[in-house]
Each structure stands twice: as C-alpha cells, then as structure tokens.
C-alpha cells in the first residue's frame, strides 16, 4: 500500500495516551519557538525523493548521468525510484499534515517540467500543480526551490553552469514556473546551496557533473548567482504576492590553535564557505580573500552582473549542519583537523549547535541589509532501524532540540529568523552516499516503500499540537 498516513495516527496516539513516550524535545517555556508565527516545517528535494525518472516526458538530469557512472555513488545507488514520491505524493501530503507540520519545502525538477526547446511539459507541470494545490488545501505553507541540483543533461551537454547561457535558460524556467504556479507558492527560492553546485559539482567533482577545477568552480558560481539574480525580477513580476529568496549552506570553521596562521585559516574557511556566496548577494562583490585561497581563479564578470546578483531579497534561506576545525596548510589555505572525542553523526559530521548561533549573529554584524532568515535545512543522518514498528532516533531528538535552542539564542540576540525546516521529511537519496545515510524524520523501507514515523517526528508533532492549542 502506498499510503501509510493512517499509520501515523496509530503510531502517535497510543504512545501519547498511555504515557510510554517521554518527551525530551519540547522547548522551554521562554523559547521563541512557542510563537505561533514561527514556521516549523520539513524539507525535501525532487531528485532525492521523486523517482519516476523516465515518466511523463521527464528528461535526463545530470544526476541521472552521474549516478549511473560506476564509482560515483555509494553502492551504485541512483534516484531512479528513490521514495517513489511521484506516485505516493498524496499519502506523503497526508503524512505531513497528520504530523501538524506547518510548512513544506520542496523542489521542482527542471527536466520534468520543461522540454529541451524551452516548451512546457504539461504532464510534469501537472504533478506540481496537484501537489501544491493539495498542500494549500491542507493549510500548509509552501516553499518551492527551483534548482536543487537536477540540471537538465542537455544543458550540461552545452557546458552546464560553465556556460553563461545556462543562467538565461534558468530565468526562462523561472518565468514558466512562476506563471504556471503563481498563487500556490508562498516562497520561491531560486537555488539551493550554490556552494555545492559550484564547488562539489565543478571544483572537486564529488557531485554531478563531476568536474574538478577551482577555476571552473568560481565561474560556475558566478553563473549560478547570475541565474538567481536574473530570476528574481521575473518571479516578482509573475507572482508578486510570494516571497523571493535563495538558500545557502553555511559552514562554521574554528581555528585549531591561537596562532595567527590558524586564525587566518579559519577565516579563509568561512570566506570559502560563506562569504563566497553571501558577499555577492548582500554586498555586490566577491570577497578578495577567496582569490588568496585560489589564486588566479577570478571569474569572468560582465558589466552589470554584480548589480543583478545583489538585487534585494525577501528572505535568505540558511542550511546548517556542522563545524570544521581547521589549521593552516602552511601555504595559502586551510586543512581539516578533525577533533577527537566529539559527538558525530552517521555522516561523520560534528554536532555543533553553537556554530549555527555564532554564524547567524556574525552575519547580522557583517551584513547590514541581512534579510529575514529561514533555516531551510537542519538535521542529521543516523543508522535508524525499525524495531517493533518504531524508530527510536534518540540522537536526532537531542540534535534538533539543541539546534532549535541555538536558533532561539540567535533570535534573542536580534537576528530576524522566521522559521525552521527539518531536513528531511523522509529518508532519501543522499547524493554521493546513496540510500545508506538516513536524514528523515520518517523512515523509508526502500524494499516496500513503507513509511514509519520516527520518534523525532512524533515529538515535533506533539509540540506543534501543544503550541496550536495555546490561546
């Protein structure tokens, strides 16, 4: 059966009513999270959950190509089936609603909705129309990302993000989507994590399309940001009532010692992870320190590009996962120095909630025009197992509680944070790590597609129910 939504209630109610579920999650009484207008939701992305890669006229994406190449993805996994969300979306929306989640962040697969000549693919578009309309019927706030890494392969064949023309094709795609979907989208994000698209895709080759050259990375980044800047006015014209923004992943770098060289290394780490994206968006210029790290990699920038890129935003989406401890590499850069004895997740990433607070308060000091912020992703992977019908993801419960406390601290320090989306609604295709790494608050059995709500999701649902009941 595709639909396990009724099972959500079966899982929730007995545990709550017989008192067997203790609550290590609920935020303290003075937490800003109790504010009803603080949006709490969950996020996913098209290639990670949809499957159905050959259906209804969807064209190949760079991730179909990349994952089909042996050695690129753990265990040879691909997104061909994923969570089969393309067929099970109705049950998944029921599940989301039954958990009381108030917002849903999803992405659109560009190759599903637009043909190679730029014409709409009606069947693909209808999928998103149905999905978004149902979410609105359920009273769920919709946050739609236009590009979460699944570039149409035909555009990559013409140079992908190394080709300036891709930025203009993206603006055409944004135009089509916002004309077709206006009224069902509360917030549009142009790009998800341009750092990953540019650096992992073109700089070190860990992600599609698998190229490895620092100069490629800076040029790809410029074209991604240009694409964003070109799309913003288009979205504003077609769908004036919605919010428009972009989503950036951010990284905390801490120095391994007090030495000036290690302090500089930590600074350069954050320039490479954060300022590379945020400075052009919010200051209209690339940070010059980036080119100390990667000498001679300045991208080709045409007149007017930086004004286009730095168009005002309604919101900035922030994705945060971990910190990296770094030391000087003895030359122009930094090297990771993993700390011993710290808590880590299934990804090996350190659990470091203070990093989220410190970065957010730091951005407020650095960027005087910092837009309102949504935490558009935060979460962790664990090797979750279903035992007697339940998944006790205790580390995730503690992780979420501590990161939400960090968000509360940042709000209390004056950062305008409007909401938080768990990454992820469900276990899914974790890119180069395939299906082994489980980020969901809902467990997926990939052999049956059965959904099992994890304890973390139950506790979030319980909190949301309590918050809603408050007068």
Residues acting as catalytic residues:
193, 377
In the complex, minimum distance from the CB of residue 37 to ligand IFM, in angstroms, rounded to a whole number: 25
Kindly tell me which of 218 and 319 has the beta carbon lying closer to ligand IFM.
Answer: 319
In the complex, minimum distance from the CB of residue 197 to ligand IFM, in angstroms, rounded to a whole number: 10
In the complex, minimum distance from the CB of residue 302 to ligand IFM, in angstroms, rounded to a whole number: 30
Kindly tell me which of 50 and 377 has the beta carbon lying closer to ligand IFM.
Answer: 377
In the complex, minimum distance from the CB of residue 178 to ligand IFM, in angstroms, rounded to a whole number: 23
Kindly tell me which of 4 and 430 has the beta carbon lying closer to ligand IFM.
Answer: 430
Q: Which H, E and C letters describe the chain, residue by residue?
A: CCCCHHHHHHHHHHHHHCCCCCCCCCCCCCCHHHCCCCEEEEECCHHHHCCCCCCCCCCCEHHHHHHCCCCCCHHHCCCCCCCCHHHHHHHHHHHHHHCCCCEEEEECCHHHHECCCCCECHHHHHHHHHHHHHHHHCCCEEEEEEECCCCEHHHHCCCHHHCCHHHHHHHHHHHHHHHHHCCCCCEEEEEECHHHHHHHHHHCCCCCCCCCCHHHHHHHHHHHHHHHHHHHHHHHHHCCCCEEEEEEEEEEEEECCCCHHHHHHHHHHHHHHHHHHHHHHHHCCCCCCHHHHCCCCCCCCCCCHHHHHCCCCCEEEEEEEEEEEEEECCCCCEEECCCCCCCECCCCCECCHHHHHHHHHHHHHHCCCCCCEEEEEECCCCCCCCECCECCCHHHHHHHHHHHHHHHHHHHCCCCEEEEEEECCECCCCHHHCCCCCCCCEEEECCCCEEEECHHHHHHHHHHHHHHHCC
In the complex, minimum distance from the CB of residue 453 to ligand IFM, in angstroms, rounded to a whole number: 20
Kindly tell me which of 42 and 171 has the beta carbon lying closer to ligand IFM.
Answer: 42
In the complex, minimum distance from the CB of residue 437 to ligand IFM, in angstroms, rounded to a whole number: 8
Kindly tell me which of 110 and 463 has the beta carbon lying closer to ligand IFM.
Answer: 110
Binding footprint of ligand IFM on the chain (CB under 6 A): 45, 48, 193, 249, 319, 377, 423, 430, 439
Kindly tell me which of 269 and 439 has the beta carbon lying closer to ligand IFM.
Answer: 439
């Amino acid at each position: 059966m595709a639909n396990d939504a009724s099972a959500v209630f079966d899982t929730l109610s007995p545990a709550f009513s017989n008192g067997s579920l203790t609550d290590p999650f609920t935020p303290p009484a003075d937490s800003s999270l109790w504010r009803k207008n603080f949006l709490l939701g969950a996020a996913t992305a098209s290639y990670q959950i949809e499957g159905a890669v050959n259906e209804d006229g969807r064209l190949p994406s760079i991730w179909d190509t990349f994952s089909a190449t042996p050695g690129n993805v753990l265990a040879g996994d691909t997104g061909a089936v994923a969570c089969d969300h393309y067929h099970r979306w109705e049950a998944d929306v029921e599940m989301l609603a039954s958990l009381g989640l108030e917002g849903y962040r999803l992405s659109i697969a560009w190759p599903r909705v637009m043909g190679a000549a730029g014409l709409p693919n009606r069947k693909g578009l209808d999928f998103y129309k149905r999905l978004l309309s149902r979410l609105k019927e359920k009273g769920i706030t919709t946050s739609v990302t236009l590009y979460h890494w699944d570039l149409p392969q035909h555009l990559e064949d013409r140079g992908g993000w190394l080709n300036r023309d891709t930025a203009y094709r993206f603006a055409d795609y944004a135009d089509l989507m916002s004309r077709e979907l206006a009224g069902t989208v509360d917030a549009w994000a142009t790009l998800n994590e341009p750092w990953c698209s540019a650096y992992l895709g073109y700089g070190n080759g860990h992600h599609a399309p698998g190229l490895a050259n620092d100069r490629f990375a800076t040029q790809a980044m410029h074209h991604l940001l240009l694409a964003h800047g070109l799309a913003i006015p288009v979205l504003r014209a077609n769908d004036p009532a919605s919010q428009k923004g972009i989503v950036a992943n951010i990284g905390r770098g801490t120095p391994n010692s007090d030495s000036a060289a290690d302090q500089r290394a930590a600074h350069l780490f954050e320039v490479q992870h954060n300022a590379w994206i945020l400075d052009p968006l919010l200051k209209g210029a690339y940070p010059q320190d980036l080119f100390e790290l990667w000498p001679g990699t300045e991208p080709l920038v045409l007149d007017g590009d930086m004004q286009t890129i730095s168009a005002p935003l309604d919101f900035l989406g922030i994705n945060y996962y971990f910190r990296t401890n770094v030391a000087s590499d003895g030359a122009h850069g930094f090297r990771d120095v993993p700390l011993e004895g710290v808590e880590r997740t299934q990804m090996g990433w350190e659990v470091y909630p203070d990093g989220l607070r410190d970065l957010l308060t730091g951005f407020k000091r650095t960027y005087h025009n910092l837009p309102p912020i949504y935490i558009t992703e935060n979460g962790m992977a664990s090797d979750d197992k279903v035992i007697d019908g339940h998944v006790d993801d205790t580390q995730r419960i503690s992780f979420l509680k501590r990161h939400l406390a960090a968000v509360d601290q940042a709000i209390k320090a004056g950062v305008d944070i409007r909401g938080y989306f768990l990454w992820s609604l469900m276990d899914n295709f974790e890119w180069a790590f395939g299906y082994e790494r489980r980020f969901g608050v809902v467990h997926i059995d990939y052999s049956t597609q059965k959904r099992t709500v994890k304890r973390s999701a139950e506790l979030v649902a319980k909190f949301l129910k309590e918050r809603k009941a408050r007068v």
